[in-house]
Structure 1
Amino acid sequence: MHIRCIIVDDEAPARDELRFLLSAYEGIDIIDEADSATAAIAKIEELKPDLVFLDIQMPGRNGFEVIKALASETAPKPHYVFATAFDNYAIQAFEASAVDYILKPLSSRRLAQTLEKVRTLIAQKNNSFIEQQLQVLLDKVSPPVRELIKISVEKKGKMRLLSPEEIVFCSYADNHILVHTSNEALPIHGITTMDKLEEHLAGSSFFRVHRAILVNLNAIKEFSPWFHGKYNLIMDDRFATELAVSRSRVREFKMKLGL
């Protein structure tokens, strides 16, 4: 039995180590590698491997999000083996699913056990069971659904509630916060600091590019490197507003976007 597999890890040494360990086993064909969740999703969709060795903690989207993104695929699902440094609590969730896990640093003995399990599962060819068990895993590791988030702003003497999706960015100046939508800027009501606003929007697609600017990552039209290690953003509003990512936040900004 030949097993076609893809290795997904953002660190090249980790991919090289796993490739070396797998070379000791007959019938394991490494058909590609990926260094991010985004790249992994594209390669899994294209190549349809039997097995994916999947890192959990990666810049931007994590390993669980790879599975979520591919959940609607009608083709036979690959078997996922997580490479993880997670604690025992998370491992209990893995053990309840059809996937397996290997702890970093990798062990040849543990890898052999994993491959034996994968060979057995592939031989069973029960894709519906795989889908069911992957959903069990995602249900256990997914964060709880947050309460409805709204931002209160003032317009013509009345209070208006905005959804996060309506906000392009927020700015702080002269001791007050302005909420910028695609066509106007409105003063916020009830929240007095950017720290509090950032906390209120935690879990949404917002990122603090500067101590006085909080942007909706989904509302960035384009961006490019700028002077002194900064990045320049062009926002998707009618003004094509330009904002700068401070040099100290560029690395985290790129990680958020999976770059």
Structure 2
Amino acid sequence: MTPRALIAEDEPILAATLARTLGQCWPELQIVASVPNGLAAVEQALALRPDILFLDIRMPGQSGLEAAEELAERWDGPAPFPHVVFVTAFDDYAVQAFEQAAADYVLKPVSAARLGKTVARLRGLMNERGGGRTEQGAALGQLLGQLQALLPQAPAPAPQERLSTIRAAVGNVVRMIPVEEVVFFQALDKYVNVATPDGEALIRVPLKDLLAQLDEKRFLQISRGTVVNLDCVQSAARDDLGKVMLALRGRPEKPRVSPVYAHHFRQM
């Protein structure tokens, strides 16, 4: 089968250079889309199901790492998860860290010689077709976790007092919900849903701000939009797609765990 790839790069000249150099190194490779940001990369990858993703690390709106994480959460169906190649302008020190993380990468400006090595590796991986969906997801989760540590971090927020009670709206009524009774928090459009064994309520606080006020020993983020109370986790099991799903005490939902966070449940 003809290999298919998607390029996500916000600089048009660099995207065109990468596509042209790939054409020289791998003439049979078909570029099915070239998009300028991570959001478009996610939507096009889900629609087109390419074999390979070339993702720029830094893009406006959504980074390459964030796009890979979202794809890992949303990918389903028979097609295996794409091989991911990160495009980076990091210096030599950071490149060494990439290699230690077992990531494939292309350093800007694109070098035909270096890209040739990447192409050779990709050819080998696609010919082997080894490793099931579970192994691919676990590897991607470990990779993203390691790569997140390479990015410049925002200054740590000032310590905040731990929440003991959640003030949440249920219709026209404001409920006072003890934090220990919350089974999970889930980000919605402009709100966060607070789920307890007795029902649900809404708060208008960004999930990342809420997470900073929760006890990290009790509450764990399991995906970009969900935080669970570990005291309410009954079990963790893999579904038919190899993704970890949780059974929660007092709730019927079985939320999926992103590959980035799946390592927290390996011993369950």
> What is the TM-score normalised by the length of structure 1?
0.54
The equivalences for 1:208-247 within 5 A come to none
Match of 2:46 in 1: 45
The equivalences for 1:47-196 within 5 A come to 47-72=48-73, 73-74=75-76, 75-97=79-101, 99-128=103-132, 129-142=135-148
- Distance 1:149-1:101 versus aligned 2 partners, 3 A rule: farther
The 8 Å contact of residues 98 and 133 in structure 1, kept in 2 or not, is answered as no
**1:142 Cα deviation from its structure 2 partner:** 2.9
- Distance 1:20-1:71 versus aligned 2 partners, 3 A rule: same
**1:32 Cα deviation from its structure 2 partner:** 0.9
Q: Does 1:7 align with 2:7?
A: yes
**1:98 Cα deviation from its structure 2 partner:** 5.5
- Distance 1:201-1:84 versus aligned 2 partners, 3 A rule: same
Residue aligned with 1:102, SS: strand
Structure 1: stretches of 5+ with no match in the other structure: 156-160, 169-180, 183-199, 205-217, 219-259
The 8 Å contact of residues 94 and 137 in structure 1, kept in 2 or not, is answered as no
**1:124 Cα deviation from its structure 2 partner:** 1.5
Residue aligned with 1:67, SS: helix
Query: 1:137-185: per-residue Cα shift (whole Å, max 9, x none)?
Result: 1121236998777699xx9xxxxx999x89x8xxxxxxxxxxxx86xxx
**1:131 Cα deviation from its structure 2 partner:** 2.6
Query: 1:178-232: per-residue Cα shift (whole Å, max 9, x none)?
Result: xxx86xxxxxxxxxxxxxxxxx96998xxxxxxxxxxxxx9xxxxxxxxxxxxxx
- Distance 1:132-1:201 versus aligned 2 partners, 3 A rule: closer
Distance across 1 between alignment mates of 2:19 and 2:66: 23
| Greater displacement, 130-139 / 22-31 | 130-139
**1:123 Cα deviation from its structure 2 partner:** 1.1
**1:122 Cα deviation from its structure 2 partner:** 1.0
**1:4 Cα deviation from its structure 2 partner:** 0.5
Query: 1:22-81: per-residue Cα shift (whole Å, max 9, x none)?
Result: 221321111111111010001111111111111000012100011110113233011111
- Distance 1:97-1:77 versus aligned 2 partners, 3 A rule: farther
Distance across 2 between alignment mates of 1:79 and 1:14: 20
Please tell me whether Structure 1 or Structure 2 has the larger radius of gyration of its CA atoms.
1
- Distance 1:69-1:107 versus aligned 2 partners, 3 A rule: same
The 8 Å contact of residues 77 and 127 in structure 1, kept in 2 or not, is answered as no
**1:87 Cα deviation from its structure 2 partner:** 3.2
Q: Which amino acid aligns with 2:138?
A: Q
Residue aligned with 1:49, SS: coil
**1:90 Cα deviation from its structure 2 partner:** 3.7
> What is the TM-score normalised by the length of structure 2?
0.53
- Distance 1:110-1:77 versus aligned 2 partners, 3 A rule: same
**1:116 Cα deviation from its structure 2 partner:** 0.4
Distance across 2 between alignment mates of 1:102 and 1:133: 19
What is the percentage of aligned positions where both structures have the same residue?
Answer: 34
Distance across 2 between alignment mates of 1:62 and 1:80: 14
**1:91 Cα deviation from its structure 2 partner:** 2.7
